[in-house]
């Protein structure tokens, strides 16, 4: 049986060119980048070249890049780093639809005595910048709003929100993990002070990511040890993975426009085919601007996890939402915040496309969805009572 992957928002396969760059580095460079001998300096050169390439794509200075283990650490470093550096009780503004990496960090900050405002989006999943303005307080030190949602793909008005935050003297962080590589990640154009990216969302390996920290931003480290990453993140740098991340970032920039157009057409083809074949279904966030590869669709009368299993048996990998929340019995916090009922939120699936997907795969997936939904509804007592 052929198998096709439609869960790229959870993770992506490592691309051939990224793997080649990483393997070459592993074979040729084994020194510690902090060592002053030949081998250490060879590693240092590879590391700093990778940092310069990342900075070139992000539109910032190389010394503003902190290499970390991934998106979760980048988000944690941004939130804990900024708030704890204030050395006082502070106020933070975020949203109710953030990734668990941000929400869990905010809950921990609340346990430490800080105050957090969680803003809800509208029914399309978009946060109103004026809500941010209304939530600001004299002690607000940080606003954290994701650039694109991992479940719905809905894009937030980061530039407007950043301008409002700065007017009040607050810093602006954006989790760009699901947007970077699909949208422009120019941090200067976005107006952010801190910006998180993760390698495994853009065809690099897991375990590598970066946090952009605007020069002048005071950050308290959350990992302590040596003086690595300009005292912002202790630990021997992962040189080969940094090289791999730089290769992935360069490829993402090179293919950004063409791949966005291709994936957007495939995503729209998939949506139209499913909605044309399956009654009582709809797109969550479909009226908002979205990243081109993502659609989140509800199917009344169906349990989302049952549909995921049915599609997996048919050879298609999809998901009910965030991979970091798999196994949760509660409905999606993102869809609930958008106003969906618990039943409809549990009946929603995320389809996230990537480089390997084709028109033929999309058409086959739409057919499999139609058949699987019909079969599951056929054995659903609740659906039978509704029709």
What are the catalytic residues? 324
- Beta bridge partners, 68, equal 209
Cα–Cα distance measured from residue 50 to residue 46, given in angstroms and rounded to the nearest whole number? 6
Is-contact 92 106, C-beta < 8 A?
yes
Is-contact 347 321, C-beta < 8 A?
no
């Amino acid at each position: 049986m052929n198998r096709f992957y439609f869960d790229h928002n959870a993770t992506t396969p490592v691309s051939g060119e990224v793997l080649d760059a990483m393997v070459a580095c592993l074979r040729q460079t084994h020194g510690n980048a902090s060592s002053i001998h030949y081998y250490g300096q060879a590693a240092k050169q590879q590391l700093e070249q990778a940092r310069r390439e990342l900075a070139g794509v992000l539109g910032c200075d190389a010394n503003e890049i902190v290499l970390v283990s991934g998106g979760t650490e980048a988000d944690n470093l941004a939130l804990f780093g900024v708030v704890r550096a204030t050395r006082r009780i502070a106020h933070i503004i975020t949203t109710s639809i953030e990734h668990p990496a941000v929400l869990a960090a905010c809950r921990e900050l609340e346990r430490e005595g800080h105050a957090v405002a969680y803003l809800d989006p509208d029914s399309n999943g978009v946060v109103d910048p004026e809500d941010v303005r209304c939530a600001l307080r004299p002690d607000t030190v940080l606003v954290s709003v994701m650039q694109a949602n991992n479940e719905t793909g809905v894009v937030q008005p980061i530039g407007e929100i950043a301008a409002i935050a700065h007017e009040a003297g607050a810093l602006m962080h954006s989790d760009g993990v699901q947007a970077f590589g699909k949208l422009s990640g120019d941090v200067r154009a976005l107006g952010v002070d801190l910006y998180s990216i993760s390698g495994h969302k853009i065809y690099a390996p897991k375990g590598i990511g970066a946090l952009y920290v605007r020069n002048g931003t005071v950050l308290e480290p959350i990992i302590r040890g040596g003086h690595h990453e300009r005292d912002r993140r202790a630990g021997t740098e992962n040189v080969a993975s940094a090289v791999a991340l730089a290769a992935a970032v360069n490829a993402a920039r090179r293919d950004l426009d063409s791949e966005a157009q291709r994936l957007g057409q495939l995503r729209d083809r998939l949506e139209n085919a499913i909605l044309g074949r399956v009654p009582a279904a709809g797109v969550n966030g479909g009226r908002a601007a979205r990243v081109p590869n993502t659609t989140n669709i509800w199917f009344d009368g169906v349990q989302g996890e049952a549909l995921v299993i049915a599609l997996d048996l048919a050879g298609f990998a999809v998901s009910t939402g965030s991979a970091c929340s798999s196994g949760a019995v509660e409905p999606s916090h993102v869809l609930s915040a958008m106003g969906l009922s618990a039943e409809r939120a549990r009946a929603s699936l995320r389809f996230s496309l990537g480089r390997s997907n084709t028109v033929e795969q999309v058409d086959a997936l739409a057919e499999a969805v139609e058949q699987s939904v019909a079969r599951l509804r056929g054995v659903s007592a609740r659906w039978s009572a509704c029709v």
